[in-house]
Amino acid sequence: MSTQNAINWPEKYLPGTGDNFVSNEVIVPGVTAARVWRFLTDTSQWEGYYDNVADISFPQGDGPRLKDDLAFSFGTFGFPPLDARVVEFQAPAEGTPGRLSWTAKQDGAPEERLDVLHAWLVEDLPGGRVRILTQETQIGQPAAALAQERPNPMLNGHQAWLDGLVGAASE
């Protein structure tokens, strides 16, 4: 029997407590967590395999590789660029999953405010497989509106990100 790891959730963003939550996962053969990690943490690669991200910038001059406590901004889902900060960064290693999460915020009038935690877990599985799990909790009126759309654009957008990430790492 094998157990799988889970996302580490700060209490504020626990799934089911915000206005929108989605979970996407793939398990694929023939690629390693280390290779996936390289494409996930290098933001200069994102636009090459995911078309729902734009305007990535690093206000403090760092980047393009993500690291713990790094501030960055990016546009997605039609929102103006969100101010983001990496809050968990652990590269995958033997027996240890890769963990990446960031908060992203949009300030403004109450109907524009958005507060997000987007988390990733990347782990090697037996048999030459890799598991990639991405989950996001969103808080705010724009998130509640997204959650009512069918199909849910965030669910589909994150699946496109996963599919593109696997494709890039498999080349």
Give per-residue pLDDT as tens, 99-125.
999 999 999 898 999 999 999 999 999
> Is the confidence at residue 149, as pLDDT, over 50?
yes
- At residue 100, what are phi and psi to the nearest 5 degrees? -140, 130
Which domains are assigned to the chain?
20-170 (3.30.530.20)
Quick one: pLDDT at residue 80? 85
Q: What is the pLDDT of residues 52-100, one digit of tens each?
A: 999 999 999 999 999 999 999 999 988 889 999 999 999 999 999 999 9
> Is the confidence at residue 35, as pLDDT, over 70?
yes
User: Parallel, antiparallel, or unpaired: how do β-strands 53-57 and 20-29 relate?
Assistant: unpaired
Arithmetic mean of pLDDT, 129-136: 97
> When comparing pLDDT for 4 and 10, which is higher?
10
Quick one: pLDDT at residue 1? 47
> Is the confidence at residue 141, as pLDDT, over 90?
yes
Percent of the chain at pLDDT exceeding 90: 91
Answer for the pair 147, 15: CB distance below 8 angstroms, yes or no. Answer: no
Arithmetic mean of pLDDT, 6-31: 96
